[in-house]
Amino acid sequence: MPTTPAQAPSGPDPRRWLALVAVALSALVISFDMTILNVALPTLASQLRATTGQQQWIVDSYTVVFAAAMLPAGLIGDRFGRRRTLTAGLALFALASAVGMLADSPGTVVAARGAMGLAGALVMPMSLAVIPGLFPAAEQRRATAVLSTALAAGAPLGPLIGGFLLQHLWWGSVFAINIPLTAVGIVACVLLLPETRNPAAPRLDLLGAALGAGGLAALTFGIIEIPERGWTDPLVLAMLGGSLAALTALVLRSRRQQDPMLDLALLAAPAFRWSAVAATLVSLVLFGAFFVLPLYFQSVLGADAFGTGLRMMPMMLGLMVAAKLSDRLVARTGPRTVIALGLALLAAALLLGSRTGTSDGYAPAAVWLVLLGLGMGLALITAQATAMLTLPPARAGVGSGLLQTLRQVGGAIGVAVFGSLLAGSYRGALETSVFPPDAVHRAEQSVVAADAVAAAAGDRALAAAAHTAYVHGMTVVLLAAGVTAALSAVLVALRMPAAEARAGGEGGPDGPDGVADGADGVADGADGVADGADGVGGGAGPLSQNAAAPAADHR
């Protein structure tokens, strides 16, 4: 059935708030799953005997596919129907979760996580895209706040519920819980959401999407293999070279197209460019930090999965404080100062964490985790909202896609680089002479494997050697991440244009950008709040994308 331009509705949909609940549930499933894996990863690695590289791919397979699919996912929804795309993404997420639940090898989990990344890329932008079609302008801020709350709730609930499931059930339960949640979301969306589409959306660039996905996958794989094979290994060189070729081809292809899926011309605007750089650097630093913490809490401090979730909660306290303070700080000082301050606080937290010793308890970590959440919130919330406020309405969609792709790429590289640094530092510091000769190779793979060797031998000295080596590797990672955050803070403070960034937030209600309401929108943009809370994932840009988009066609 052909679509026709949308007619102005006679009044708001009376079921719009119920529909928003359905949308929020859909987004909560994605947010929930991202953080539940952080707690489940050590248990999963132990049960499936996953190496450090395989653990990285369990995380990175989701991130890489999610990043690569974000650009085409928005166009798919615009052209073929947002509700249809949303429900298809939820169905794929449930199917991939079932595969993960039944997996008996790390490779199967990696494949399932990749499919879940594709599903998440379909769900996240579409869950945000329906708000302008459901709500009048006067209610859109309130609606986005509700959705933001749901997204943020997934971050603390994931580790807690995941830890509870792992404590009482088998590791596959962290995947199994997604199935009933997605089923409820599908039914609610089908019954409550109207179908919308935008026939003016550009055509989907399949070749461009393939080049992006292949380039990112090759880059991540090459970095992960460096500690095992070395920089001069032919496979590593082939992966890095292939990545460079694919991503270069994508850039050249995008520059030749009139309506490219990857619109790099947007980076010509200094405010957008530096906000995107800041958001990408925050993601890179945070993904590295999040990779090392769960193993520290479980292997070194002896916490179970639920206890690990509880130990991550101080970070959420800092994040909530940042969400409350960011709008006031932006109004007084401008976004550049707030972003630089957030990065400086991130640096301080990570550098404090880098001083961790093997005999330290949990108290020092609790202190710097609060500071980590505060810095993350100030930097990421402000950077994302500022970037979106600089975009003209006609470019809000591709702009948000570009922003999210860059941020996810930063996260993937963070996991790969810091994971490789952790593996190399751990292996270099491990005192292998205390391990049985036939167990040395296994102990070198990860601290989880070393703990298993120590448990089988009943020798606490073996475990102590592994824990000492792991703490050394963790502190090296945190030191590198802290230095990166500090340099990023200096870079933003010196190069980001305060006047242009501030102007975006002062557009006033219903200003020309049409993306947010005045200066408050910089801090209150629901995307940024949710993204900061998720920490490892979540899509921020599409909310602003669709707030600025023209009225979609309704069916």
Beta-bridge partner residues of 554: 196
pLDDT at 245 over 80: yes
Place of tokens 């089923």: 183
Cα distance from N-terminal residue to C-terminal residue, the chain:
10
Q: What is the mean pLDDT of residues 117-136?
A: 76
Q: Is the pTM of this model over 0.85?
A: no
Residue 168 has pLDDT above 70, yes or no: yes
Q: Does the pLDDT at position 489 exceed 90?
A: yes
Confidence of residue 503 (pLDDT cuts 50, 70, 90): very low
For the segment 191-206, the average pLDDT, to the nearest whole number, is 73
Helix, strand, coil percent values for the chain (each to nearest 5): 80, 0, 20
Return the structure tokens found at 130: 């329906």
User: pLDDT at residue 120 above 50?
Assistant: yes
What's the mean per-residue pLDDT of the chain?
75
Residue 487, pLDDT score: 95
Whole-number pLDDT of residue 238? 93
Between 442 and 94, the more confident residue is: 94
- Report which of 101, 321, 73 is spatially closest to residue 206, judged by C-alpha positions: 73
- Tell me what pLDDT residue 353 has: 92
Q: What is the model's pLDDT at position 128?
A: 63
**395 pLDDT band (50/70/90 cuts)?**
low
Please say whether the beta carbons of 292 and 478 come within 8 A: yes
Which tokens go with 548?
């600025």
pLDDT at 62: 81
pLDDT at residue 400, as a whole number: 67
DSSP letter for each residue of 176-211: HTHHHHHHHHHHHHHHHPPPEE-TTSPPP-HHHHHH
Say if residue 437's pLDDT is above 70.
yes
Which one has a higher pLDDT value, 346 or 60?
346
| Per-residue model confidence (pLDDT) at position 1 | 43
The DSSP output letter for 300 is: I
- Whole-angstrom distance, CA of residue 32 vs CA of residue 175: 11
Average pLDDT score over residue span 243-263? 83
Rg (CA), the chain: 23
Q: What are the CA-CA distances from residue 498 to residues 47, 337, 493, 495 (Å)?
A: 51, 8, 9, 9
Nearest Cα to Cα of residue 517 among 48, 141, 221, 194 = 141
Q: According to the model, what pLDDT value does residue 491 have?
A: 93
What pLDDT does 348 receive? Answer: 95
Would the pLDDT of 538 be above 70?
Answer: no
Q: What's the distance, CA 82 to chain centroid?
A: 22
| Per-residue pLDDT at 199 exceeds 70 | no
Average confidence (pLDDT) over 399-421: 76
pLDDT, residue 475, reads 93
Answer whether residue 163 shows pLDDT above 80: no
